[in-house]
Structure formats: structure tokens, C-alpha cells
Amino acid sequence: MSNDIEQIVIIGGGAGGLELATRLGRLWGRKGKARVTLIDRNNTHLWKPLLHEVAAGSLDAGVDEVNYRGHARRHGFHFTLGSVNSLDRDRREVILAPLVDEEGQTVLDERRVHYDQLIFALGSVTNDFGIPGIADHCMMLDAPGQAERFHRRLLNAFLQQDRARAAGGDEQLKLVIVGGGATGVELSAELYNAAKVMQDYDLDHIGPEHLQVSLLEAGPRILPALPDRIAGSVVKELSKLGVKVRHNTKVVRGHEGALETDEGEMIDGDIMVWAAGVRAPNFLKDLAGLESARNNQLMVNQTLQTTRDERIWALGDCCACPQSDGSWVPPRAQSAHQMSSHIFKNLKRQKAGKPLVDYHYKDHGSLISLSRFSTVGSLMGNLTRGSMMIEGRLARLVYISLYRQHQMALHGVTRTLMLALIDRLNHAIRPRLKLH
């Protein structure tokens, strides 16, 4: 490999990072004009907005996930399995921690990866805000492994509850979800769908009416990023399902089987989920002298280069990007997609000797899926003049199209159409819920 080939390293294989690696691999990697390397701690990618469906069993992660190594070979980039340990900006090297297997055996020693351009696309993790007991007693849904762990626990709880009710018991299965954002709301609805479907698979004594789902929000309403009328519509739909939505409910401590509020109330839960906020990974805070925000995000300017090193870029949830109106780009999937496209554009301009251009966030609206029961949301930005509320079948089609757009960015139109066909076939021949 020639030393004059530019080394482009992307850390994080989420939606934005994988899309960027794919586009750069197609453009330069295949032609030998740059060596593009994607680094991730996992072997596979799953679109993060789908994790609540994996948790409830509506989606099988093994069917929809993308294998990084196979995808890299197909699209002209390289994949390295590993986690960032530190960064040497003087030598322009990413230092990867030793790779250790499940039995604690070292598979690979510490490694160094040289870069000419480095892009952080690590996404975010759930923020427990340092509240005592939350990390010990609540489940989180940051990655497919956590979602699958939740699913196994949910199935076991359904089995126990069904057996107890068959023996004459009348207790309900109590689930508590903290956080009234998209994850908490969508998971609440999916749980009722899962309970309904389980009745078709020999669990005759438990159904939606035997669930007690509490959705706790510390603020005055759920879905604060959406207009009031949409949030109000979602509350009505959740209430019809049986979800108890509680606003202005601040959790101050987690216990075994219960959450404690600031008013001293104990809210019991057989399964408790924390989805109340996000932050960037802790190791990004002051990494190698880079400027970071309070929630560990890397500070970037409007070109998406970090403020203290123009060779280092950041996109998505792990970066703090100011806008010209004084606001900050929100941590949303559409932000990561837009930023990925913008860095791709700026890297091309840089290679051509052209000045870089600033990124401006475009809000295309938000959609909330309430499983098979409903989908609601708003379309904004250049899709409509102002904001338009949509719901029902149209909203569901738009919601699905967002995932198809991500698939097209990764696979192209033809393969995405094939994947859509496979999805339809799976719906026809596979169980309606993952049962293991």
C-alpha cells in the first residue's frame, strides 16, 4: 500500500458512519484513491430506531442487521473490530484497546491505526444522569444486544405470568418505562402488540389487559420535540391501549423492583427501562485535548470539523454543532444522515481544493410508530410549508420509507427492493413475533 494514499478512518458504524464509509468506499476506496477504514466494537449494524421493535420481538435483529465485514468487501472499504482507547493527534493515530473475548482471553493486542482524516460517528448512549440505582436496576436500549436481552426477559415474564394466571393468580405484569421520547413511547405500544400476539402461541392466560405499563416523563409532556397537538394525540392513543402516562414525574433513585420519585412514591415494576436522555460516550470528554460539551459531545464548527483539529470531524449524536440562529443540531437520526452527506460533500471539496461549506440542519419532521395500532407525526421543512400533521396509513408509509432510504444509501435501489420483498415473504412465513 502506497504511503501517499489518503487514510480516512471512521469510528462508529451507526447510520451516519456506515453510510459515509459506504459512499467513500464506492467513490475512492474501489479506485485506490483513498483507504477508507470503518472501526466499530460490534460485527454488525442495525438501524437504531428499530431497537424498540427488537426489544418487543416484532423484529428479528438477525434478519435485518448488516455484517460490517461483508458490506465493506462489497463497497470498497475496510472494517476493523475494536474500541477506541485513546488518540495520538501528533502522530495522527487512533489507539485501539486490546480485543478480549467473552472468556476474558486477549484476541488482539493494542493496535494503532493511522489517519489523515478522522471522523467520529459514535452515536450516543443512554444518560442516567448519575441517579443512584438506575444503572443497576434498569434496562437500557442502546444496542441490539441490550434489546435482545430485554426481549428474552420479556418472554420469560410472559411465561411466568401465563402460568401464574392459569393457576388462579390475578397479578398483572408491571413494566415501567422512564422517558417520554420516541423510544419510550414506541416501546410502550409495542409491548401491547407483543402481549396480544402471544395469545396466538399457546399463552392463553395473558393478554394486553394483563399488562400494566407506566410511562414516566419528568417534563410537562411527552415528545417535547413534537408539536403539542401531536403529543396530545399520542397520549390519547396510548391511554386507549392501557398505558398510564405520567407527566412531571421525576425519578430520583432506582431500587430492586421499584423506582422512587422525588415525592417519595415507589413505583413498582417487574421490568424497568430507562430511556430518559442521551449523551456521547464518556471517553470523548476532553479526548486528546479536543473540545467537548457537557454531555461529552465533541464541539464542531459548522463545517463539522472539530474546533481544535481540522483533520478530525464528528457527526450525529456524538457532536455538538451550533447553528447560525444560536440553536444546536438535535440528536436525531435525520441529523446523522444529513451530517454524513455533508461530510462526504466537504471531503470531496477538500480533495478538489475547493473551500468547505457550512452545514445547516433541515427539520423534515418526526414520526412516531405506535406499533400496528397507529402512526402519527408531522412533516416539516422542505416537505411542506411549515408543519403538517399526518397519521394512520399515510404516516405508516412515510415511517417505513425512512428505513428504506437508509437501506438505499447502503445497498442501492435494486438490493433495497429485494430486501423489501424478502420482508414481505418473512411476514408471510415466519411467526408474527420472535419467540426465542
pLDDT digits (tens, 9 = 90+) for 320-338: 999 988 889 999 899 999 9
Residue 358 lies in a domain: no
In a domain, 92, yes or no: yes
Measure CA of the first residue to CA of the last residue in the chain; give whole Å: 46
Final residue belonging to a domain, choices 238, 259, 277: 277
Confidence of residue 206 (pLDDT cuts 50, 70, 90): confident
pLDDT greater at residue 251 or residue 426: 251
Answer for the pair 269, 259: CB distance below 8 angstroms, yes or no.
yes
The answer to whether the Cα torsion of 391, 393, 395, 396 is positive or negative is positive
What whole-number distance in Å separates Cα of residue 331 and Cα of residue 67? 25
CA distance 234 to 370: 8
Quote the CA–CA distance of 304 and 359 in Å, as a whole number: 7
- φ and ψ at residue 185, rounded to 5 degrees: -65, -50
Amino acid 229: pLDDT = 86
Count: domains in the chain:
3
Residue type, 144: P
Least confident interval from 298-307, 375-384, 414-423: 375-384
Q: Based on the fold, state whether residues 269 and 166 are members of the same structural domain.
A: yes
Cell of 130: 448519575
Pair 297, 231 in one domain? no
Domain identity same for 141 and 200: yes
pLDDT tens digits, 118-136: 999 999 999 999 999 999 9
319 and 287 Cβ atoms separated by less than 8 Å: no
pLDDT of residue 8: 98
Beta-bridge partner residues of 38: 10, 79
Same domain for 157 and 265? yes
Quick one: 64 and 96 in the same domain?
yes
User: 129-144 burial, b for 16+ CB within 10 Å, e for fewer?
Assistant: eebebbeebbbbbbbb
Q: Are 392 and 292 within one domain?
A: no
Q: What's the whole-number mean pLDDT along residues 395-423?
A: 92
Is residue 434 situated within a structural domain?
no
**CATH code of the domain covering residue 314:** 3.50.50.60
Same domain, 106 and 142: no
pLDDT at 384: 44
Query: How far is Cα 165 from Cα 272, in angstroms, rounded to an integer?
Result: 22
pLDDT of residue 89: 98
Cα separation of 192 and 361, whole Å? 35
CA pair distance 285, 266, nearest whole angstrom: 34
Q: Are 172 and 156 in contact (CB under 8 A)?
A: no
C-alpha separations of 372 from 112, 186, 294, 426 in Å: 47, 11, 38, 17
What is the arrangement of strands in the sheet containing 266-268, beginning at the earlier edge strand? 251-255, 258-261, 266-268
Tell me if 436 is assigned to some domain. no
Confidence of residue 2 (pLDDT cuts 50, 70, 90): very low
In a domain, 110, yes or no: yes
Same domain, 151 and 269: yes
* Spatial separation of the C-alpha atoms in residues 45 and 48, rounded to whole Å: 9
Instruction: Encode pLDDT of 333-367 as tens digits.
Output: 999 999 999 999 999 999 999 999 999 999 888 88
Identify whether 129 is part of a domain: no
pLDDT in tens, 235-246: 999 999 999 999
Residues paired with 67 in a beta bridge = 44
Q: Contact at 8 Å (CB) between 8 and 24? A: yes
Cα atoms in the 13 Å half-sphere on the side-chain side of 63: 19
Structural domain includes residue 360:
no
Pair 203, 195: CB distance under 8 Å: no
Buried b (16+ CB within 10 A) or exposed e, 220-258: ebbbeebbeebbebbbebbeebbbebbeebebeebbeeb
In this predicted model, what pLDDT tens digit does every residue of 381-408 receive, in sequence order?
Answer: 444 444 677 777 788 888 889 899 999 9
Its domain, for residue 320, covers 6-124+280-351
Q: What is the 3-state secondary structure (H, E, C) of 22-77?
A: HHHHHHHHCCCCEEEEEEECCCEECCHHHHHHHHHCCCCHHHHCEEHHHHHHHHCC
114 plus 139 within the same structural domain: no
User: What's the mean pLDDT when you consider all of the chain?
Assistant: 93
What proportion of the chain, given as a percentage, has pLDDT over 70?
Answer: 97
Q: Are residues 343 and 375 in the same domain?
A: no
* Residues listed for the chain: 436
**What confidence category does residue 1 fall into, taking pLDDT thresholds of 50, 70 and 90?**
very low
pLDDT, tens digit (0-9, with 9 covering 90-100), for 244-277 = 999 999 999 999 999 999 999 999 999 999 999 8
Average pLDDT over residues 12-25: 97
Give the residue-averaged pLDDT of 303-311.
98
Tell me whether residue 359 is in a domain.
Answer: no
334-362: burial string, b at 16+ Cβ within 10 Å, e else: bbbbbbbbbbbebbeebeeeeebeebebe
Q: In this structure, are 306 and 323 located in the same domain?
A: yes
For residues 116 and 140, membership in a common domain is answered with no
